[in-house]
Structure 1
Amino acid sequence: MALASTGNLPAVFDLKSASLTLVALVVKSPRLSELAEQLRVRLGPSTEFFNQDPVLIDLAQIQDSAEALDFQGLIGLLRSYSMVPVAVRGGSPAQMASARDAGLCEVPPQEGPPPARVAAPPPVQPRTSSVMVIDRPLRSGQQIYAKGSDLVVLALVNHGAEVIADGSIHVYAPLRGKAIAGATGDVNARIFTTCMEPELISIAGIYQTTDPPLPVEVRGKSAQVRLDGDTLIIEPIKV
């Protein structure tokens, strides 16, 4: 049977490629109780910091586990922190099948080995010549992403605003929103600000909220954030 011609009808939709910034949750234990406890410890009591951010669940580190992961339970747990699980990668065939049954889509495994978490920085930082500069205040709900570069912000980053960079982030004003440096895995990225008051900080996928508040020696003062192994170090900038 022939399909009816659309003739000159105006198009009511388009199909286009789109890029999307995802939070990657690297699962290191299939036990939901352990995941829940560490989320509680790392993110604190607040459940609003992620603001419906899409999440990719990475199973590469538990793909050989004989213990099943409760995907429906994990999805509910992440949603309780305002995260929206949308995809999964890196699991065993059985894990991927269970994830699809739970409504998650499958994405190809990450090419090559994951970035090594080493404390010593390399002698050369190739992206230092590339910098995005923002000279206006960022209001709640605004997001700036410096893809493949460092980010310099010369004005206030308000509560609810988000600054993201593949490199380091420099805020020469109060930092009160979210700051996510090393977004593609650069463990040597850092966050600098003249007034450290963020809602959330992250380097190379290691997140920390500021509820409870930061220590008095850095709160509201010039400070930097760096990564030491899997731990975020927040320390004052001595001038």
Structure 2
Amino acid sequence: MTVAVRTRSSLRFRGRSFLALVLAPEPPLADWMAELDNLVGRSQGFFAGRAVILDVSALNLDKAGLTTLLSDLSTRGIRIMAIEGTEPASLGLGMPPAVNGGRDTDLAELLSSAERQKAGLKTEPRTAAPGSLMLENPVRSGQSIIFPQGDVTVLGSVASGAEVIAGGSIHIYGALRGRALAGSAGNAKARIFCQKLEAELLAIDGLYRTADDMDSQYRGRPAQIWLEGDVIRMAALG
């Protein structure tokens, strides 16, 4: 009887890049935590399922202080995958690992076709022009459209629980009921346009405004949103 011997394949290593959301606390820490609570309270699930890196370079924390901060974030449903801005020797057993050398983008890559199908986007997005993305279908609840290269145009609506993140401006030809984050690659000149403003959260270049912070006179109306200094401005269209 002949016995087939299967040769073991050689050990294989692959490089793979994952971009993550970075939380960078600033002193005084109590004020920063209060602002974080404000965001978490008004935009439930914002951090759910997200890879988060904690940048503590602006803080002077010992091991006990870092442990407390990680615990405080955990109670808010924020799980830290790695810590930046500290030496590995300052991390205790069971803490996330230290990382360094990250590239500033604040964005994940555009969803793959398989991920879009899993999320329910049956139609492939098509590029309208270099540096822009056009979506012919509505963005349904639970979907994330992430496009760091430039503008995003949605011909339909963005449902509650959905989000659109763009390196440039965001144009929505229907109702905006979910979250829209424009200029997220550091473009302070980006704007958000929609035909019906009912957003859960708006953000431009990292500055945000939740539904409770929005002027009620613009709710349900066509509107544009832009950044003026460190203040998010709104105006009705038409």
Q: What's the TM-score once normalised by structure 2's chain length?
A: 0.72
- Tell me: CA distance 1:215–1:181, structure 2 relative to 1, closer, same or farther (3 Å): same
SS at match of 1:163: strand
Residue 58 of structure 2, aligned match among 58, 61, 71:
61
Q: What is the match of residue 115 of structure 1?
A: none
Number of residue pairs matched by the alignment: 210
RMSD: 3.2
Distance (Å, rounded) in 2 between the aligned partners of 1:81 and 1:227: 29
- Tell me: CA distance 1:223–1:21, structure 2 relative to 1, closer, same or farther (3 Å): farther
- Tell me: CA distance 1:61–1:228, structure 2 relative to 1, closer, same or farther (3 Å): farther
- Tell me: CA distance 1:191–1:100, structure 2 relative to 1, closer, same or farther (3 Å): farther
Q: What is the match of residue 38 of structure 1?
A: 35
Q: What is the match of residue 236 of structure 2?
A: 237
- Tell me: CA distance 1:180–1:79, structure 2 relative to 1, closer, same or farther (3 Å): farther
Q: What is the match of residue 90 of structure 1?
A: 85
Kindly indicate whether the alpha-carbon contact (under 8 Å) linking 1:30 and 1:69 is maintained by their aligned counterparts in 2: no
Name stretches of at least 5 consecutive residues in structure 1 with no aligned partner. 1-5, 113-127
Q: What is the match of residue 210 of structure 2?
A: 209
Distance (Å, rounded) in 2 between the aligned partners of 1:34 and 1:67: 19
Kindly indicate whether the alpha-carbon contact (under 8 Å) linking 2:21 and 2:53 is maintained by their aligned counterparts in 1: yes
| TM superposition shift of 1:164 | 1.1
- Tell me: CA distance 1:82–1:137, structure 2 relative to 1, closer, same or farther (3 Å): farther
Q: Which has the higher helix share?
A: 2
- Tell me: CA distance 1:69–1:135, structure 2 relative to 1, closer, same or farther (3 Å): farther
Distance (Å, rounded) in 2 between the aligned partners of 1:14 and 1:135: 41
Name stretches of at least 5 consecutive residues in structure 2 with no aligned partner. 105-128
Distance (Å, rounded) in 2 between the aligned partners of 1:131 and 1:69: 46
Distance (Å, rounded) in 2 between the aligned partners of 1:35 and 1:102: 25
Distance (Å, rounded) in 2 between the aligned partners of 1:190 and 1:14: 45
Tell me which of the two structures has the higher relative contact order, counting C-alpha pairs closer than 8 angstroms and 6 or more residues apart: 1
Residue 49 of structure 1, aligned match among 27, 46, 51:
46
Q: Deviations over 1:113-135 (max 9, x none)?
A: xxxxxxxxxxxxxxx95210011
Q: Deviations over 1:169-209 (max 9, x none)?
A: 11111111121222222222222211111222222222333
Paired residues for 1:88-237 under 5 Å: 88-91=83-86, 93=87, 97-99=89-91, 101=93, 103-110=95-102, 129-210=130-211, 212=212, 214-231=214-231, 233-237=232-236
| TM superposition shift of 1:38 | 1.9
